[in-house]
Amino acid sequence: MSERHRLVVGNWKMHETAGQAENLARAVLAALPPLDARAHSEVVLAPPFTALAAVHAVVADSVVALGAQNMHWGESGAYTGEISAPMLLDLGVRYVILGHSERRRYFHESDEEINRKVRAALSHGLMPIVAVGETADERDTGMTDARVVAQTSAALDGVEPANLARLALAYEPVWAIGTGRNCPPAEADRVMGCIRGTLPGLEHTRILYGGSVTPANFASYLACENCDGGLIGGASLDANAFVQLAILALAA
């Protein structure tokens, strides 16, 4: 039996104005049954930066924690358009998604930049959720394992072993994100095992699956040895679907 507590994270991406996000967060809280504090399982909502304050006002003092979708590694400075860890902490943020494939693909984030962000987040007391995953081409050419291991070891370079339990990894096959083509659970479990084997100490790190998760398929991932929860995109924009996912994770 794993000692790792379940984690379910809703990544709202570039959706919802502050007012819409506030309503969505209220709907999630209203539908969520009381969580057993002894379970220490966590539910996180990650709205866009512009809605963090509004969502914080709703989830503060609840079992739901606040997450951000990105951050810069610096504390402050001449980085127009960027947001730092102290700014996130000031808004009540506890988790930050780093290295999402959309950031890697559309904003050309490198493994080195992601590593700087991971170390900065940890040094400020934020909990990074680091996404790794192969593209369809990499899978088709047999590169899946090498790709996720390389991304994981680069992202965690220089991270103190004691900090490995303070972060989470998310296995998100790029071809499964937002496509409705989820990775078969047994294969996802195999790859998550590969990710876990990248470094000693990762046996205490939560690994989430992400990629077209729905209430209909999530239980099959949660049943996997290496899966400790989910990073949810599309289904997190529907309060009822997201709460169903949270309930499945908490019950598993």
Least distance from C-beta 28 to ligand PEP, angstroms?
Answer: 16
**Closest listed residue to residue 9, CA positions, set 173, 187, 245:** 245
Residue nearest ligand PEP by beta-carbon distance:
233
The dihedral over CA atoms of 137, 138, 140, 143, expressed in degrees to the nearest 10, equals 160
Q: Rule CB under 6 A: is residue 234 a binding residue for ligand PEP?
A: yes
Q: Rule CB under 6 A: is residue 212 a binding residue for ligand PEP?
A: yes
Q: Rule CB under 6 A: is residue 233 a binding residue for ligand PEP?
A: yes
Whose Cβ is closer to ligand PEP: residue 23's or residue 214's? 214
Q: Rule CB under 6 A: is residue 184 a binding residue for ligand PEP?
A: no
Question: Is the distance from CB of 55 to CB of 22 less than 8 angstroms?
Answer: yes
Q: Rule CB under 6 A: is residue 231 a binding residue for ligand PEP?
A: yes
- DSSP structure class, residue 212: S
DSSP characters over 65-111:
EEEES---SSSSSS-TT---HHHHHHTT--EEEES-HHHHHHS---H
Question: Is the distance from CB of 69 to CB of 51 less than 8 angstroms?
Answer: no
Distance CA 240, CA 252 (A): 18
Residues 110, 108, 76, 93, CA torsion sign: negative
Q: Rule CB under 6 A: is residue 229 a binding residue for ligand PEP?
A: no
Among 213, 227, 246, 247, indicate the residue that binds ligand PEP (CB under 6 A): 213
Whose Cβ is closer to ligand PEP: residue 74's or residue 217's? 217
Instruction: Find the binding residues for ligand PEP in span 7-36 (CB under 6 A).
Output: 11
Q: Rule CB under 6 A: is residue 84 a binding residue for ligand PEP?
A: no
Q: Which stretch binds ligand PEP (CB under 6 A): 25-33, 82-90, 145-153, 207-215?
A: 207-215
Q: Rule CB under 6 A: is residue 232 a binding residue for ligand PEP?
A: yes
Q: Rule CB under 6 A: is residue 128 a binding residue for ligand PEP?
A: no
Q: Collect all residues with Cβ–Cβ distance below 8 Å to 190 and sequence separation of at least 6.
A: none
Residues 73, 78, 84, 90, CA torsion sign: positive
Q: Rule CB under 6 A: is residue 99 a binding residue for ligand PEP?
A: no
Q: Which stretch binds ligand PEP (CB under 6 A): 43-51, 58-66, 193-201, 211-219?
A: 211-219
Question: Is the distance from CB of 82 to CB of 94 less than 8 angstroms?
Answer: no
Q: Rule CB under 6 A: is residue 177 a binding residue for ligand PEP?
A: yes
Whose Cβ is closer to ligand PEP: residue 48's or residue 210's? 210
Can you state the angle between helices 111-123 and 144-155, rounded to 10 degrees?
40
Footprint of ligand PEP (CB under 6 A):
11, 172, 177-178, 210-213, 231-235
